[in-house]
Amino acid sequence: MPSLKDLRNRIASVKATQKITKAMQMVAAAKLRRAQTAAEAARPYAERMSAVLGNLASGITVGPDTPRLLAGTGSDKVQLLVVCTAERGLCGAFNSSIARLARDHANRLLAEGKTVKIICVGKKGYDILRRQFAEQIIEFVDLRAARQIGFEHGDMIAQKVLALFEQGAFDVATLFYSRFQSVISQIPTAQQIVPAQIESAGAASQAVYEYEPDEGEILTTLLPRNLTVQVFRALLENAASEQGARMSAMDSATRNAGEMIKKQTMTYNRSRQAMITKELIEIISGAEAL
Amino acid sequence: MATFNFELVSPERVLFSGQVDAVVLPAADGDVTVLSGHAPLMATLKTGFLVITDKPGNGKRVLVRGGFADIGQNSLTVLAQRALPAEELTQEILDKEILQAEMAYDATNDLAAKHAAESAIAQLREAKAALNY
């Protein structure tokens, strides 16, 4: 039986924890709003971009001159995994679910005898994947210094991927991130970015286009841009998902702390009363004995 | 005057969306004025001012740095890499842009890329000079 003082201390410490989780939840809620608007504002650009690319790609036939970013290298031996996670923890299963998806994917590829290379964006994913794939991780991108995800961050990562592709360091690249669906639901997603996945436009948009400068040149500038936009979008979706996950995790932590406080207070009051009763009995029986 | 649908989108936000009379694009090979009923055209953009005329005699200027214009049937979509409305431009922003362009100029050895960066710097300097009036 813990003493009254012990119980008091325990209640105080749970209360302090509850205050912290409550504050974290409110901070996450405020950040979520900002991240969500950023993610939503970036959506039109990405959508138009894939529409334009679809228009363009439906007009050309894949041949030896087609940029390799679109047609691929013709092999899938070396696979690059770009795993985007958060820089901080305490956000429920957010980081581990992305990492799990990436790990399963990597294990499957390794079982098929393919070479796997991993680029980690975000410290948490790096920490998780490092244990198993220490040799496969070729790079770790740290975005801790960035307060707000900007286009330049997406660009930086995309440039790294492009440079590797130019060197012929991989054949297929897949991007792992968490798609933001709602505050309580974030879906870990794998998206192939190299070679580019193009949803072909409907037959209605089969207008004869003029190109300025020429088709090939536009395609060669558009494809790397598309890669940047996809990475940028993934980063924004991830940022919104992270805050959403943190918010719901902290909300349930606050609720659990509340429950714990209630239970502990009950025990505390009970043992206090028991003590008072015991003392009274002692006094009364002492008086009776006289 | 016949109007057409115009959208100006940058990675961060949608800057303009609506019916317009005419748009002047700083296309890579020279300025292009787009009016309603323009033939389908896809063009890359260089650094320069994009002029939106949504009512006769009312032009809006937006500084764009690189991007694409997709002219479809009675619609124009511009995907700008960076876009700054003229009224938001300040000396510091332009200085930063010029610095970036100069860095791009120094970073490359490719003749065409150097040329593009050079013209971008010239355009930005011009915009900066125009701001002082």
Contact by Cβ (8 Å): A102, A129: yes
| pLDDT < 50 positions in chain A | 203-204
Q: What is the CATH number of the domain that holds A183?
A: 3.40.1380.10
Q: Into how many domains does chain B fold?
A: 2
Same domain as A117, residue A95: yes
Same domain as A186, residue A42: yes
Collect all residues with Cβ–Cβ distance below 8 Å to A15 and sequence separation of at least 6. A257, A261
Same domain as A87, residue A209: yes
- Report which secondary-structure segment, H or E, holds B101: helix B91-107
Strand B4-9 relative to strand B14-20: parallel, antiparallel, unpaired?
Answer: antiparallel
Sign of the alpha-carbon torsion through B93, B94, B95, B98:
positive
Collect all residues with Cβ–Cβ distance below 8 Å to A134 and sequence separation of at least 6. none
Contacts of B44 in chain A (CB under 8 A): 212-213, 217-218, 221
What residues does B62 pair with on adjacent strands?
B50, B85
Lowest mean pLDDT among A272-276, B56-60, B113-117: B113-117
Same domain as B99, residue B39: no
- DSSP secondary structure code for residue B88 in this structure: G
**Residue among A69, A78, A91, A121 flagged as catalytic:** A91
Same domain as B107, residue B73: no
Same domain as B43, residue B60: yes
Same domain as A138, residue A37: yes
Contact by Cβ (8 Å): B54, B20: yes
Per-residue pLDDT, A203: 45
Q: Looking at the predicted structure, is the pLDDT value of residue B42 above 90?
A: no
Closest by CA to A22, choosing from A246, A266, A261, A244, is A246
Q: Which of A205, A208, A212 minimises the CB distance to B43? A: A212
Give the Cα separation of A248 and A256 in Å (integer).
12
Same domain as B10, residue B72: yes
Same domain as A242, residue A115: yes
Per-residue pLDDT, A278: 95
What residues does A179 pair with on adjacent strands?
A187
Q: Looking at the predicted structure, is the pLDDT value of residue B127 above 80?
A: no
Q: Is the peptide bond before A44 cis (omega within 30 degrees of 0)?
A: no
Mutant choice from A159, A212, A236 vs B, greatest count of B C-beta within 10 A? A212
- Reading the block at residue A31, the tokens are 């950040």
Give the Cα separation of A129 and A176 in Å (integer).
13
Strand B75-85 relative to strand B22-27: parallel, antiparallel, unpaired?
Answer: unpaired
Same domain as B47, residue B93: no
Residue-number span of the structural domain to which A272 is assigned: 4-21+250-289
Same domain as B63, residue B94: no
For B35-65, give one letter per residue: b (16+ CB within 10 A) or e: ebebebbbbbbbbbbbbbbbeeeebbbbbbb
Closest by CA to B3, choosing from B25, B18, B19, is B19
Sheet holding A115-121, edge to edge: A137-141, A115-121, A78-84, A172-180, A186-194
Give the Cα separation of A174 and A194 in Å (integer).
7
Per-residue pLDDT, A64: 66
Q: Looking at the predicted structure, is the pLDDT value of residue B79 above 60?
A: yes
Same domain as A199, residue A261: no
Q: Looking at the predicted structure, is the pLDDT value of residue B62 above 60?
A: yes
Mutant choice from B33, B68, B74 vs A, greatest count of A C-beta within 10 A? B68
Same domain as B77, residue B17: yes
- With bands split at pLDDT 50, 70 and 90, how would you rate the model's confidence at B132? low
Percent of chain B scoring above 90 in pLDDT: 8
Instruction: Classify the phi-psi angles of B122: left when phi > 0, otherwise alpha if psi is within -120 to 50, otherwise beta.
Output: alpha
Same domain as A256, residue A154: no
Same domain as B119, residue B64: no
- DSSP secondary structure code for residue A288 in this structure: H
Give the Cα separation of B3 and B15 in Å (integer).
18
* ipTM above threshold 0.90: no
Chain B residue nearest residue A42, CA to CA: B12
Same domain as A148, residue A259: no
Active site includes A91? yes
CB-based burial of residue A120 (10 Å sphere; 0-12 exposed, 13-18 middle, 19+ buried)? buried
CB atoms within 10 A of CB B28: 20
CB atoms within 10 A of CB B113: 13
Does A209 sit within 8 Å of B12, measured CB to CB?
no
Per-residue pLDDT, A265: 95
CB-based burial of residue B26 (10 Å sphere; 0-12 exposed, 13-18 middle, 19+ buried)? buried
Same domain as A194, residue A265: no
Same domain as B101, residue B76: no
Does B72 sit within 8 Å of A207, measured CB to CB?
yes
Per-residue pLDDT, B40: 86
Chain A residue nearest residue B43, CA to CA: A212
Per-residue pLDDT, A63: 66
Per-residue pLDDT, A201: 52
Residue-number span of the structural domain to which B32 is assigned: 4-86
- What SS3 state is found at B114? helix
Q: Looking at the predicted structure, is the pLDDT value of residue B88 above 70?
A: yes
Contact by Cβ (8 Å): B52, B23: yes
CB-based burial of residue A198 (10 Å sphere; 0-12 exposed, 13-18 middle, 19+ buried)? middle
Same domain as A15, residue A141: no
- Report which secondary-structure segment, H or E, holds A121: strand A115-121
Q: pLDDT tens across A66-87, in order? A: 777 877 787 888 999 999 999 8
Q: Into how many domains does chain A fold?
A: 2
* CA max distance for chain A: 114
Same domain as A283, residue A236: no
Chain A residue nearest residue B77, CA to CA: A48
Check if B5 contacts A (Cβ < 8 Å). no
- Residue tagged 């909300």 (tokens): A251
Closest by CA to A226, choosing from A161, A168, A138, is A161
- Reading the block at residue A88, the tokens are 């901080």
Per-residue pLDDT, A204: 46
Instruction: Give the distance from CA A238 to its chain's centroid.
Output: 4
Does B79 sit within 8 Å of A213, measured CB to CB?
no
Same domain as A68, residue A15: no
Give the Cα separation of B4 and B38 in Å (integer).
10
Same domain as B121, residue B71: no
Q: What is the CATH number of the domain that holds B80?
A: 2.60.15.10
Same domain as B109, residue B53: no
Same domain as B111, residue B58: no
Give the Cα separation of A101 and B73 in Å (integer).
42
Q: What phi and psi, each to the nearest 5 degrees, are found at residue B110?
A: -70, 130
